[in-house]
Amino acid sequence: MRTFTGKDEVLAAVGETLGTSDWVEVTQQMVDQFAEATGDHQWIHVDPERAKRESPFGGPIAHGYLTLSLLPLFTSQIFTFANAKLGINYGSNKVRFPSPVPVGAKVRSTAVLVDANEVAGGALQLVVQHTVETEGGSKPAVIAEAVSRVVF
């Protein structure tokens, strides 16, 4: 766990790998709950029997956006800000889903601080590239640049 205590530490860390999260198993229950929350009930995600029969992946896969939605969990395991008054998600610059995440697979993220700069109001804007890998996979499941703001 990397802990930043102020703006100067963050700015000095641009270009560094901040760390890697723990493995998280993607379960069918998570996929089903995500489908309920988003309205995305495509059979490749929520019908395990049909996915085993008809999908090119041999079974159900997680929604790409479900995997993306794990970034806050991964981030909380990789780095934090001591003495921060506020932290918010600001958006994403780039998001790609190079390979699917089979239900039952474990995923984790490695985070690199790509950019950090001060913005209006004294907040620090960070761009963190997350590369989410599937245990045993040959290609990343997600590559995303997450943009956030922190006020110390």
b vs e for 6-32, b when ≥16 Cβ sit within 10 Å of the residue's Cβ?
Answer: ebeebbebeeeebbebeebebeeebbb
Residue 120 has pLDDT above 90, yes or no: no
**pLDDT tens digits for range 5-37:** 999 999 999 999 999 999 999 999 999 999 999
Average pLDDT of the chain? 97
